[in-house]
C-alpha cells in the first residue's frame, strides 16, 4: 500500500537492461471521478511546484488487488522519468526492454506515447537508437507551435527531437553539441528538461556529475523549423557555462540556469547576453567549499562578505563596486587558509577553519559585521561610503561563525554577538555572549556561562529582554534576560540552560511561546524539536523525520522547512506533536544547509548546484 505524497522531482532513465519490468500506473476512484487536466512538463507548470488542482484523490491504492488502479502497462526495464500528459496522451522516455515495435530491437532509448483512457500504445520512436552515450535521462516536455502540439524529447545521444504529439511524426532534430565535440571528453547530452516559453525551447546540456566539470552549452531553439535544424533553428548558443543538469527557468525576458561550478547564469532570453554579474578573486580553498554568506540588499546597493573577509558594496544599477573593505586583514587577521579545523593557527596567522561566515547587518546608516581579530571585535561602516564609523574592543573568545543580530532590551536596541570557546562540551571555556551599543560599539554587558567551540546560530529575541542562545557540539541552549539597572549599567540573569535543545547551524523559530529547531548535530540526532519558553521539551522527531541543519521559514502560522538533505516540508507548528501537511523531494541530496527566502509567494531554495524558485502560495492571492 502507498500513501499519498507529492511527486518526486528527480528523473533519470537508464538505457541498461534489468531482469524485471516496471509498470506505468495511474489511479482513480470510481465514486469520485477525477477531473482531467494536462501535465505538459516536469513539475506540471512552468513554476514546477509539483502541485495539481485535482480533488478527492485516493489516499491509498494497491497494485496487486487493483484497488484504485484504472490500468497498468509495461514499459522499459528501468525508468525514473516524469511522464507528461496532454490532449489525452501520455509521453514517457524509457528504454526498449519491452519491445512494442518489432522493427526496433536491442537496447535502445525510446519515446513512448500511450492513450490516457486505456493505456494502449499510440506510437513509439527510437530516434536515439544505438547512439546512447551514457543513458536516457530526462523527461519530455510539450508546447503548441504554430497550431501543432509538439513533444520535445532530449535523446541520450546528445540530440533534441521534436515530434507531432498526435501522430508521432518526427518534425525536427537539433544537435546539442558543436560539430567537433567528441564523447566523452567534450560531447554532452541532456540531463535537464526542455523549457518551452515564448515560442522557443530553452535547454542546457552536461554529463553525469561523476564525469566532473567540463565545457557546457545552453541553447535557445526555434521549433517552428523542420528537418535538421541545428543551424536554422538555433536562435542563440551560450558557451560561457560549465556542464549543467539544471532545468532552465524563464521569467520576464530572462533565462536562469546554473552549472556544475555552482554558478547561476542570468541571460537575456532574446539575445543570450548575460544580464549582469560581479566577481573578485578569493584565493584558497576551505573545508566545505561553497558560498557561506547571504547578501543584504538596502536601497540601490547589495552588500556581501566573502570567505576571506572581503566586504563589497555593489550598485544594483551600475553593477559595479561602490566600495570594498576587508573585515579580517584590515584589523590584523592572518591570511593563511587552514586545511581543516585542527590545522587552524592563531588569528594573527590564519583565517578561521571554515573562512569568514558573515551576513552583513544594516542598521540605520551603518553596515555592521564581526571582525573577530585581536584588534577589533565588531566593526561598523558607513553603508554608502565605506568609512569606518566605529570598532569595538576585541571580545572575549575566539572567532566563530555567528552573524550579529539586534535584540530589544527595555525598548533599546542591543547588538548581540556570540564568540567561540576552546574545548568541547563541559570542557569548553573562554567564549562569551556580548551586548553592544549598535551606534557606538560600546560593550554593554557580557555573559560567559554558556560555551560552544563552534557557534553558528545568532541569538534569538524572545521578548521582554530575553534571548535564546543555541549551538551544537554538546553546547545546547541558554535563555538569558537583560535588565537595565538604576545606575545605567546592565545585568544578566540566566533563566535556564539545557542540552536537550540546541542547533548546529540555523537559529530556532519562535511561534506562540514555543521554539522549533532542527537539532541534529555531530553528537545527536533529535531531528525537529519543540521547546517551551521555560525549557521543557514537548516533542522531537528523531530519526523518524531526520531534520539535519535545514532552513525554515514561518509564514501564515505554518513552517516551510528543508530537512538538510533533499526534502521540502510544510509543517503545522503544534506543541502537541509533529504535524507534517505535505512534502516534496526538490533538492539534490547533500549537505543542503542554506537558509530559505520567501517573497511574493515564491520560495527560493538551493542545493550545492541549483537554485530553485518554488511557488508556495495559491495563485491570485
Residue 412 lies in a domain: no
Distance of alpha carbon 368 from its chain centroid, rounded? 27
At residue 106, does pLDDT exceed 80?
no
Range in 23-27, 65-69, 317-321, 584-588 the model is least confident about: 23-27
Say if residue 30 is in the same domain as residue 76.
yes
Residue 604 lies in a domain: no
Say if residue 327 is in the same domain as residue 185.
no
Say if residue 80 is in the same domain as residue 22.
yes
State pTM to two decimals: 0.60
Confidence of residue 15 (pLDDT cuts 50, 70, 90): very low
pLDDT of residue 392: 97
pLDDT of residue 510: 96
Q: Domain end: 390, 418, 444, which one?
A: 390
Mean pLDDT, the chain, whole residue set: 83
Residue 470 lies in a domain: no
Residue 328 lies in a domain: yes
Residue 177 lies in a domain: yes
Residue 11 lies in a domain: yes
pLDDT of residue 7: 32
- Cα three-residue angle 400-403-405, rounded to 5 degrees: 135
Interval 101-106 mean pLDDT: 72
Q: Tell me: the pLDDT tens digits for 515-527?
A: 999 998 888 899 9
CATH code: domain of residue 93: 2.40.128.630
Cis peptide upstream of residue 260 (ω within 30 degrees of 0): no
Interval 279-302 mean pLDDT: 75
- Cα three-residue angle 529-532-533, rounded to 5 degrees: 130
Residue 316 lies in a domain: yes
Say if residue 42 is in the same domain as residue 142.
yes
Q: Domain end: 268, 296, 327, which one?
A: 268
Q: Which of 228, 229, 257 is nearest to 243 (CA)?
A: 257
Q: Domain end: 390, 405, 427, which one?
A: 390
Q: Tell me: the pLDDT tens digits for 191-243?
A: 788 889 889 999 888 777 666 677 788 899 999 999 999 999 999 998 888 77
CATH code: domain of residue 358: 2.40.10.480
pLDDT of residue 559: 94
Q: Tell me: the pLDDT tens digits for 422-479?
A: 988 788 899 999 999 999 999 999 999 999 999 999 999 999 999 999 999 999 999 9
Quote the CA–CA distance of 363 and 383 in Å, as a whole number: 9
Of the two residues 576 and 274, the one the predictor is more confident about is 576
Three-state SS for 543?
helix
Say if residue 229 is in the same domain as residue 321.
no
Say if residue 149 is in the same domain as residue 108.
yes
- By DSSP bridging, strand 388-391 and strand 405-409 are unpaired
Strands, sheet with 296-298, edge to edge from the N-terminal-most edge strand: 296-298, 301-305, 310-315, 321-326
Say if residue 258 is in the same domain as residue 358.
no
Total tally of structural domains belonging to the chain = 2
Say if residue 183 is in the same domain as residue 309.
no
Most confident of 68-82, 215-229, 380-394: 380-394
**Which DSSP state fits 348?**
T
pLDDT of residue 262: 54
Asked if residues 379 and 388 have their Cβ atoms less than 8 Å apart, the reply is yes
Give the percent of the chain with pLDDT over 90: 42
- Cα three-residue angle 349-521-350, rounded to 5 degrees: 5
Confidence of residue 16 (pLDDT cuts 50, 70, 90): very low
Residue 607 lies in a domain: no
Say if residue 23 is in the same domain as residue 82.
yes
Most confident of 72-76, 193-197, 312-316, 460-464: 460-464
Say if residue 312 is in the same domain as residue 223.
no
Q: Which domain holds residue 48?
A: 2-268
Quote the CA–CA distance of 75 and 517 in Å, as a whole number: 44
Quote the CA–CA distance of 519 and 515 in Å, as a whole number: 12
**What proportions of the chain, in percent to the nearest 5, are helix, strand and coil?**
5, 40, 55
Say if residue 193 is in the same domain as residue 260.
yes
Say if residue 74 is in the same domain as residue 202.
yes
Amino acid at each position: 500500500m502507498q500513501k499519498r505524497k507529492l511527486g518526486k522531482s528527480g528523473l533519470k532513465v537508464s538505457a541498461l537492461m534489468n531482469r524485471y519490468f516496471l509498470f506505468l500506473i495511474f489511479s482513480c476512484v470510481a465514486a469520485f471521478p477525477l477531473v482531467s487536466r494536462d501535465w505538459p512538463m516536469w513539475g506540471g507548470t512552468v513554476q514546477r511546484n509539483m502541485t495539481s488542482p485535482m480533488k478527492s484523490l485516493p489516499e491509498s491504492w494497491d497494485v496487486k488487488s487493483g484497488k484504485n488502479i484504472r490500468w497498468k502497462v509495461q514499459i522499459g526495464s528501468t525508468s525514473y522519468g516524469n511522464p507528461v500528459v496532454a490532449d489525452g496522451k501520455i509521453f514517457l522516455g524509457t528504454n526498449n526492454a519491452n519491445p512494442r515495435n518489432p522493427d526496433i530491437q536491442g537496447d535502445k532509448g525510446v519515446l513512448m506515447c500511450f492513450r490516457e483512457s486505456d493505456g494502449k500504445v499510440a506510437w513509439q520512436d527510437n530516434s536515439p537508437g544505438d547512439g546512447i552515450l551514457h543513458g536516457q535521462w530526462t523527461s519530455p516536455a510539450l508546447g503548441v507551435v504554430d497550431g501543432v502540439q509538439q513533444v520535445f524529447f532530449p535523446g541520450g545521444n546528445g540530440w533534441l527531437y521534436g515530434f507531432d504529439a498526435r501522430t508521432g511524426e518526427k518534425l525536427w532534430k537539433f544537435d546539442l553539441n558543436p560539430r567537433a565535440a567528441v564523447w566523452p571528453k567534450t560531447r554532452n547530452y541532456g540531463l535537464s528538461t526542455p523549457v518551452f516559453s515564448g515560442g522557443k525551447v530553452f535547454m542546457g546540456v552536461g554529463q553525469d556529475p561523476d564525469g566532473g566539470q567540463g565545457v557546457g552549452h545552453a541553447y535557445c531553439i526555434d521549433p517552428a523549423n523542420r528537418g535538421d535544424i541545428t543551424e536554422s533553428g538555433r536562435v542563440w548558443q551560450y558557451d560561457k557555462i560549465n556542464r549543467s543538469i539544471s532545468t532552465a527557468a524563464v521569467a520576464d525576458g530572462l533565462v536562469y540556469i546554473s552549472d556544475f561550478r555552482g554558478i547561476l547564469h542570468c541571460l537575456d532570453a532574446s539575445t543570450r547576453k548575460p544580464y549582469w554579474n560581479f566577481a573578485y578573486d578569493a584565493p584558497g580553498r576551505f573545508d566545505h567549499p561553497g558560498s557561506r554568506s547571504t547578501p543584504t540588499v538596502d536601497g540601490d546597493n547589495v552588500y556581501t562578505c566573502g570567505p576571506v573577509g572581503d566586504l563589497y558594496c555593489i550598485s544594483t544599477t551600475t553593477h559595479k563596486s561602490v566600495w570594498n573593505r576587508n573585515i579580517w586583514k584590515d584589523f590584523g587577521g592572518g591570511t593563511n587558509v587552514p586545511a581543516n579545523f585542527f590545522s587552524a593557527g592563531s588569528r594573527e596567522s590564519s583565517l578561521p577553519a571554515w573562512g569568514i561566515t558573515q551576513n552583513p547587518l544594516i542598521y540605520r546608516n551603518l553596515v555592521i559585521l564581526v571582525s573577530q581579530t585581536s584588534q577589533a571585535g565588531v566593526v561598523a561602516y558607513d553603508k554608502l561610503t565605506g568609512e569606518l564609523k566605529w570598532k569595538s574592543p576585541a571580545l572575549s573568545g575566539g572567532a566563530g561563525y555567528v552573524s550579529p543580530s539586534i535584540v530589544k532590551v527595555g525598548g533599546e536596541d542591543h547588538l548581540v554577538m556570540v564568540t567561540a570557546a576552546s574545548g568541547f562540551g563541559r570542557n569548553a571555556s573562554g567564549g562569551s555572549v556580548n551586548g553592544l551599543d549598535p551606534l557606538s560599539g560600546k560593550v554593554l554587558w557580557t555573559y560567559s556561562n554558556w560555551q560552544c567551540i563552534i557557534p553558528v546560530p545568532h541569538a534569538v529575541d524572545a521578548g521582554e529582554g530575553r534571548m535564546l542562545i543555541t549551538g551544537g557540539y554538546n553546547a545546547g541552549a541558554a535563555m538569558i534576560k537583560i535588565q537595565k539597572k538604576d545606575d545605567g549599567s546592565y545585568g544578566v540573569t540566566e533563566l535556564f540552560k539545557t542540552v536537550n535543545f540546541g542547533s548546529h547551524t540555523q537559529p530556532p523559530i519562535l511561534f506562540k511561546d514555543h521554539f522549533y529547531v532542527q537539532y541534529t548535530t555531530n553528537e545527536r540526532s533529535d531531528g525537529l524539536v519543540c521547546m517551551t519558553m521555560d525549557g521543557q521539551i514537548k516533542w522531537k522527531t528523531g530519526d523518524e523525520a531526520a531534520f539535519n541543519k535545514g532552513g525554515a521559514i514561518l509564514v501564515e502560522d505554518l513552517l516551510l522547512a528543508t530537512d538538510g538533505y533533499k526534502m521540502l516540508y510544510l509543517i503545522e507548528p503544534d506543541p502537541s506533536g509533529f504535524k507534517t501537511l505535505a512534502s516534496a523531494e526538490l533538492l539534490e541530496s547533500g549537505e543542503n544547509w542554506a537558509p530559505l527566502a520567501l517573497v511574493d509567494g515564491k520560495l527560493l531554495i538551493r542545493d550545492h548546484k541549483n537554485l530553485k524558485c518554488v511557488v508556495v502560495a495559491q495563485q491570485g492571492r
